[in-house]
């Protein structure tokens, strides 16, 4: 559809927005792929339930199973404008951009060599993913478990097992955490780079 000629008011509104603008509105519809928001200052969208759209990754820093775990239809929201989707003529929004990243706070208070108790969340060929609580999950690579590259899923671990792990590295830009088993002792006393 040629939005510029078919809906000039909508096009003009979207062109007037700038990245990092704060926009408010009401959740109009929740779909498995994202959330439509009827923006307070925006015109109605001729096809979609709202001019604003929140993609699933922009709803929250925390993990969730369903968008309704974060927002409900009719809920008032304030969002940051990320960009103008010219194909769908909608404002791409973010809820999480207005909240501090809890992973940053976790990284600030965690040092290399720090030991945690966690729960095995997933066993895969590259290692085991361990949930340390509050949604913080790290990987114990296979080579940290048995000292050799992965040939198959790590043996001796099952989903739900509680184990002790040591923080080896926190990759803040990648939002990843690498762990090891405390028995190796290899990382005891090391400090994470800032």
pLDDT at position 48: 93
* Predicted pLDDT of residue 41: 92
Residue 112 backbone phi and psi in degrees, to 5: -60, 140
134: left (phi over 0), alpha (psi -120 to 50) or beta: left
User: What is the structure's pLDDT at 5?
Assistant: 85
Least confident stretch, 14-18, 23-27, 152-156: 152-156
Looking at the predicted structure, is the pLDDT value of residue 190 above 90? no
**Alpha-carbon distance 149 to 168, whole Å?**
17
E strands in 32-160 = 34-39, 52-55, 76-85, 90-94, 115-124, 127-131, 137-141
pTM for the model: 0.75
Beta strands, E only, the chain: 22-31, 34-39, 52-55, 76-85, 90-94, 115-124, 127-131, 137-141, 162-171, 176-180
Compute the chain's Rg from CA coordinates. Answer: 22
54 neighbors 95 (Cβ within 8 angstroms): yes
Per-residue pLDDT at 189: 41
Residue 148 has pLDDT above 80, yes or no: no
CB 28 within 8 A of CB 38: yes
CB-based contacts of 108, cutoff 8 Å, min separation 6: none
């Amino acid at each position: 559809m040629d939005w510029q000629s078919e809906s000039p008011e909508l096009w003009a509104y979207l062109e007037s927005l700038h990245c990092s603008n704060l926009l408010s509105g009401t959740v109009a519809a929740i779909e498995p792929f994202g959330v439509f928001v009827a923006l307070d200052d925006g015109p109605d969208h001729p096809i979609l339930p709202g001019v604003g759209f929140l993609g699933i990754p922009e709803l929250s820093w925390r993990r969730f199973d369903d968008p309704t775990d974060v927002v409900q239809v009719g809920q008032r929201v304030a969002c940051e404008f990320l960009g103008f989707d010219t194909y769908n003529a909608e404002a791409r929004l973010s809820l999480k951009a207005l909240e501090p990243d809890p992973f940053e706070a976790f990284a600030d208070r965690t040092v290399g060599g720090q030991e945690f108790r966690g729960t095995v969340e997933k066993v895969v060929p590259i290692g085991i993913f361990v949930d340390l609580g509050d949604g913080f999950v790290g990987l114990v690579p296979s080579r940290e478990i048995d000292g050799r590259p992965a040939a198959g899923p790590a043996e001796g671990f099952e989903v739900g097992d509680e184990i002790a792990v040591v923080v080896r590295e926190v990759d803040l830009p990648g939002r990843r955490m690498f762990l090891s088993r405390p028995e190796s002792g290899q990382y005891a006393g090391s400090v994470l780079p800032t």
